[in-house]
Structure 1
């Protein structure tokens, strides 16, 4: 293995470049940032290690960071999300060191993270916090050089906040996931569409008229439920948070415990960020033929070892589908080995929504390069001006105009004296 890459096949590089360029046509905000970075070089000399899903959209983020002067190394944040043609194009056509092979085993996955850390990063970019976790647990000798990092996903932010609460986090991290222009759009519209895309590609089963359960009514769960309802499914929500459960009910969805939902569901999708949301007790009552999938970051949301123990046989009727037969003859159909179904069985979020997410990433990493040494070792929000800037740029790209406050209106809103 060459020190600068570990990919599947260079013969895929031209195909990957075509798809990367295609995605860029739907990413006008990132294109504008790329052009600005190429002129201003705000990341000149910065060493960045990034553990992200190796997709066409990520490739365009990487190109933007490189245009800004960064020295960048990429590795995959999920064994089944890598697009091998993109990995090949990143190395061959864009000269960005990449360590990612679709379907890599756990040993290879962590070896690739180690190779990314060999870059001795000054800045980190993560999707799930595995890179930062490995850095703190096994490569602590590198921590002194790290100025800061960014985190892309809900699960990663949860892990990093736990680290910060324990006093274990040794550099500031910006929670890109929590930017309004990220979670309101990427998590809701991106996850909603791409999760349904993955399920439909994997199964080719009509959703209309089916009972479709979504575990978790956060922004991702909202998006999945909204799109499933749009397909004509009868949607159930399971929740542990009373306010979210109430919101789901007020949005017109049925709300019940998973034990009840499992017995009547044709589809169950987890999107919680927690483990064993689908557990042994649920498999013991689950409806015959139920399709189960995960749209959370890690496959621990479904207790696959428990399912394996309950099953008497297992076979693969379609690519990305494993059918487990239980002792009483019921079949449970698991998609994409319980990994992110939108990336493992489809192509992930549409480029249009990733445009905003990765615009936040690019601007936040540039902010950290300039200001990171002055920030507390904690999880920080995306600066409001960055979030607003991304929104303004996206509106402009969509050729949409909005109103602005008049001086009189601004004065009224800032005064307490004027009332009725």
Structure 2
């Protein structure tokens, strides 16, 4: 077991953090207990590239207790909780993660995790999956290929039964691989499960993104004009939570159906050019690049705050901001001030990286319980069915969604209605 973390002496603190998270994750506790007895993953190697948080730790320990050999790398240079990483290193997890990784260190960590020769990959954003596929297809562009080639062979994909993907961004990349005919093994898009995106993306990101902004700035949301770019499940959650805090919310959305939905949900809908002049706080959640760029920065009020809730730090064009700024200075650990030629000052949070993880602790444990319950069951599904699956992007069966929901409801003490045999028959019949 290898590891590279910031400070192994932080492990006792990490242990307490993980225990706190597990107390609030009844679905994963249930699965962990069951898997610990059955050992369904015995002899299986899992390489994971995920945000190293206390919730992720509960998932990794669940997989370990199920019999798997697990190696973990960070899926964002700023999202690692160092005490948690240290604790996992003492618990038999090969982990390569620390907060503040440089770009080459980040990709080296991914390659080191993959060097165990995985049967299953678990990804959060697609960086692990893309590295493996670049090596396999001989696509030599990018630092991920250069560093991956130092640690991994080009035939690494041959031993992989399948993979899982946690995020919207990652699923987009996987579907592009599939469309190009380059996807080499089946991948389950955990993000597309209802008990993931309807809860994690909406309630989890909605709350934790605002939490990150508040921790970094301590501003008052009430009365602010908050611009939310993107009205997918993440954007919906952010918009509704900002509205709940008393903000006036403007939604920027290119999809006409989503834009219409935002309008009828009671939000002002506009393009970014118009919104740039009105916003006090800007939060991107699109999965696309250059959503806010030079022409928008120059229109913004002095004091405007910029935050990103998308997976990669490409939605706010930091390169444009760096290029046009007269000067910049660090206000605190997670806020940088940029002085523009028009003498206005803009404030960028966490380098434009995932604000909820870089400036806060990520999603609440209660909601990650659902997402990681999906992850654990997806691994078992892949082991059971991988021989019959083609290299495609799959969704988990609806029966697993319902199973996770039932476990969660039982833990919450919630009773739901049961259909009578007559009602079931009525719903299954075409005749009245």
TM-score, normalised via structure 2 length: 0.95
Counterpart check, 1:405 vs 2:419 = yes
* 1:384 CA displacement: 1.4
Runs of 4+ in structure 1 deviating by more than 6 angstroms, as ranges, are none
Structure 1 match to 2:115: 118
Q: Please show how residues 377-416 of structure 1 align to structure 2 within 5 Å.
A: 377-416=391-430
Could you give the per-residue CA deviations for residues 6-49 of structure 1, whole angstroms, max 9, x where no partner exists?
Answer: 10001111000000001111001100000000011111111000
* 1:390 CA displacement: 0.4
Match of 1:103 among 100, 103, 115: 100
What secondary structure is seen at the aligned counterpart in 1 of 2:326? strand
What secondary structure is seen at the aligned counterpart in 2 of 1:301? coil
Equivalents in 1 of 2:186, 2:210: separation in Å?
35
What secondary structure is seen at the aligned counterpart in 2 of 1:174? strand
What secondary structure is seen at the aligned counterpart in 2 of 1:262? helix
Q: Please show how residues 207-286 of structure 1 align to structure 2 within 5 Å.
A: 207-286=221-300
Could you give the per-residue CA deviations for residues 52-79 of structure 1, whole angstroms, max 9, x where no partner exists?
Answer: 0000000000000011111100000000
Equivalents in 1 of 2:78, 2:327: separation in Å?
24
Equivalents in 2 of 1:140, 1:366: separation in Å?
26
What secondary structure is seen at the aligned counterpart in 1 of 2:278? coil
Match of 2:80 among 71, 79, 82: 82
Equivalents in 1 of 2:268, 2:363: separation in Å?
27
Q: Please show how residues 16-165 of structure 1 align to structure 2 within 5 Å.
A: 16-92=14-90, 94-138=91-135, 139-165=153-179
Equivalents in 2 of 1:414, 1:120: separation in Å?
47
CA contact (8 A) 1:46 1:369 kept: no
- Aligned residues between the structures: 415
Equivalents in 2 of 1:274, 1:70: separation in Å?
35
Structure 2 match to 1:186: 200
Equivalents in 2 of 1:372, 1:349: separation in Å?
31
Equivalents in 1 of 2:86, 2:397: separation in Å?
34
Could you give the per-residue CA deviations for residues 324-347 of structure 1, whole angstroms, max 9, x where no partner exists?
Answer: 000110111000000000000000
What secondary structure is seen at the aligned counterpart in 1 of 2:306? strand
Could you give the per-residue CA deviations for residues 300-336 of structure 1, whole angstroms, max 9, x where no partner exists?
Answer: 0111111101100000112200000001101110000
Q: Please show how residues 261-410 of structure 1 align to structure 2 within 5 Å.
A: 261-410=275-424
* 1:140 CA displacement: 3.4
Could you give the per-residue CA deviations for residues 149-179 of structure 1, whole angstroms, max 9, x where no partner exists?
Answer: 0000000000000000000100000000010
Equivalents in 1 of 2:117, 2:255: separation in Å?
41
* 1:357 CA displacement: 0.2
CA contact (8 A) 1:157 1:177 kept: yes
Counterpart check, 1:200 vs 2:214 = yes
What secondary structure is seen at the aligned counterpart in 2 of 1:299? coil
Deviates more, 1:382-391 or 1:243-252: 382-391
Equivalents in 2 of 1:320, 1:287: separation in Å?
20
What secondary structure is seen at the aligned counterpart in 1 of 2:42? coil
User: Over aligned residue pairs, what C-alpha RMSD do you find?
Assistant: 0.8
* 1:299 CA displacement: 0.3
Could you give the per-residue CA deviations for residues 268-288 of structure 1, whole angstroms, max 9, x where no partner exists?
Answer: 000000000111111121121
Equivalents in 1 of 2:307, 2:404: separation in Å?
32
Deviates more, 1:74-83 or 1:280-289: 280-289
CA contact (8 A) 1:151 1:175 kept: yes
What secondary structure is seen at the aligned counterpart in 2 of 1:263? helix
Equivalents in 2 of 1:417, 1:227: separation in Å?
44
Structure 2, unmatched stretches of 5+, are 136-152
* 1:374 CA displacement: 1.2
Could you give the per-residue CA deviations for residues 340-379 of structure 1, whole angstroms, max 9, x where no partner exists?
Answer: 0000000000000000000000000111012112111010
